[in-house]
Amino acid sequence: MQNVTVVYEAMNAMVNFETMKSQQVIVTGGAGYIGSHTVVELVGAGFEPIIVDNFSNSHPRVLDGLERILNRKIQLFDVDCCDESALNGVFESCLKRGNITGVIHFAAFKAVGESTAEPLKYFSNNIGSTAALLATMHRHGVGSFVFSSSCTVYGQPEQIPVDETAPFLPAESPYGYTKQACERLISDAHSAHAELNVTLLRYFNPIGAHPSGDIGELPLGHPNNLIPFLTQATAGLRDPLTVFGNDYPTPDGTCVRDYIHVIDLARAHVAALNWLKDQNHACEALNLGTGNGSSVLQVIEAFESANGISVPHTIGPRRPGDVTAIFADAKKAKDLLGWECEHSLQEALKDSWNWQKKLEQTS
């Protein structure tokens, strides 16, 4: 296992080894934003998450936050998911201890703008890691696979709310294309491999943070997404937020998205894993959203009223590649997984601000 560095070698004494033997879940990108919140929910549901992450787009301090919340360490392999031989080492190491219940694959690059400048990096990392992971799962007979996809696969849908039967429109960016290509790759692997059971989870816009403020979204460098930029601008760490265009054909002229609390999103992964355990060769795409659309200006207003603070912002030009409006029809996830969102937009925005304030205190 030459390429595998076990960062947290000694498992904390509080680990329940009996549970570990039967319920290990490999979480690629588990040190990232959605991955880390999912790790918390997995532990709460009795699973033993094993993080595989090379910190190419996350920060090791996430591990301290996880330890504060969980009161124990989580095992981590510092591995590039494109490295099939290193992945093989991870699986072998886990299988020595017990079963691998499933794999959740978050690890991917996700900045739309960067993907246009560096498409090869996106293709090789996002598609390469998915192929390497599927090959490793197949080699070891691991069947349950939860894939981190995105509503970007729909492009600008003809009808909103959008459901899972909507066609893939030409991707607006190399990033979007990698999500479409990965879904195709996974569904082809599913057709060929009888042991595979898959959920393709199409996220809308995850926001918020763990209510403790111990983990949250921690973009490296300049934030591309709305909420991290908004919180940093409000904290005075950035220039005022630029609202990208107010001349869209929406009620207030700004783009509409479906903002979902990251804890609700994380819970959906646990529900998906539990559902997969009972399936016999399933492959289902599921939208994960609230079903409500909010414009950029509505998000700013909701943030201000939830937190009692004003958000410095200006109106700027449109951002290339933005879709005008998209929000989810999430009925299928409710019917299949028995999952639905529990947190409001205001709660999510409160938790985002709490996380930003705590981050400054502890940096």
Enter the tokens of residue 64. 């301290």
Task: Report the amino acid identity of residue 112.
Answer: V
Tell me the one-letter amino acid at 291.
G
Residue 175 is among the residues annotated as catalytic for this protein: yes
DSSP E strand boundaries for the chain: 24-28, 48-52, 76-77, 100-105, 144-150, 197-203, 205-207, 241-244, 256-257, 259-261, 283-288, 294-295, 313-316
The footprint of ligand UD1 on this chain (CB under 6 A) covers a number of residues equal to: 24
Of 22, 242, 246, 279, which one interacts with ligand UD1 (CB under 6 A)? 242
Using CB under 6 A, pick the residue from 225, 246, 279, 344 that binds ligand UD1: 225
Between 33-44 and 262-277, two packed helices, what is the crossing angle to 10 degrees? 60
* Binding-site string for ligand UD1 from residue 90 to residue 129, where x marks contact by CB under 6 A and - marks none: --------------------xxx-----------------
Vertex 344, ends 341 and 346: CA angle to 5°? 155
Residue of 97, 193, 238, 319 that binds ligand UD1 (CB under 6 A): 319
Residue span 287-316 as binding mask against ligand UD1, x where in contact by CB under 6 A, dash where not: ---------x--------------------
CA distance 244 to 323: 11
Toward ligand UD1, which CB reaches closer, 255 or 268?
Answer: 255
Q: What's the one-letter identity of residue 310? A: S
Which positions from 5 through 24 interact with ligand UD1, judged by CB under 6 A? Answer: none
Q: Which stretch binds ligand UD1 (CB under 6 A): 161-169, 235-243, 330-338, 343-351?
A: 235-243
Catalytic: which of 122, 175, 177, 248?
175
* DSSP H or E stretch at residue 274: helix 262-277
Q: Which residues are catalytic?
A: 175
Give the footprint of ligand UD1 on this chain (CB under 6 A): 110-112, 150-152, 172-173, 176, 205, 224-226, 229, 241-244, 255, 257, 296, 319, 322-323
